[in-house]
Amino acid sequence: MAPRPAAVVLAIFAAPPHGVIFLERAAHLRHHAGQIGLPGGGADREDDGDLQKTALREMHEEVGIAPERVRFVWALPTVHPRVSNFLVTPFVVVVQPGPLVIDSNETAAVFFVPLHTLLEGVHDGVMDLGTIQIQTTLLDYDGRRIWGLTGHVLRMFVDEWSNEGSQMRARIEAELTPG
């Protein structure tokens, strides 16, 4: 079976401390229950094959961020996680201030990691999963451990940010600078 297209959103709030939004998935969900991730999900027919539409729709469904508050900045490389049949395109966006409306059916909790903490805290490490250990990218924050696909996306983001002359970083900084 061909992989299903999906999108996740690394959403940076325009207001200091420029928090990046993460969510803890509801415990009853069929896929990745209770795990921490970025807003996002699989493409639907209504998205017309446009993964930016998928990203906006999923972020609106999960945390109530209206599309007009979102500015797309960058698309990171598409990844195919080992544990699912999705092809995931991560988008980097800047979000203007406003309320969140949490869908408690999909989302158990929402939290924010300051951008500078994310940039300094992403590291390689080992996750213990019962009887096995997995080499993965990690971010530990406020008693939570972010890893797996989300850790991989964070690593790609930090690596791109750190590149000398990064256009992504320049675009984000331009969006975050008061006008």
Q: How far apart are the first and last CA of the chain?
A: 48
- Number of structural domains (the chain) is 1
Chain segment 47-71, per-residue pLDDT in tens: 999 999 999 999 999 999 999 999 9
Rounded CA-CA distance 65/55 in Å is 11
> Model confidence at 31, in pLDDT bands (50, 70, 90)?
low
User: What pLDDT score does 27 carry?
Assistant: 78
pLDDT of 32 higher than 80 = no
Once rounded to an integer, what is the mean pLDDT over residues 80-107? 89
Give the range of the structural domain holding residue 72, as residue numbers without chain letter: 4-176
Chain segment 117-175, per-residue pLDDT in tens: 999 999 999 988 888 888 999 999 999 999 989 999 999 999 999 999 999 999 999 99
How far is C-alpha 52 from the chain's CA centre?
13
Once rounded to an integer, what is the mean pLDDT over residues 10-27? 93
User: What pLDDT score does 179 carry?
Assistant: 60
pLDDT of 13 higher than 70 = yes
CATH of residue 146: 3.90.79.10
pLDDT of 78 higher than 90 = yes
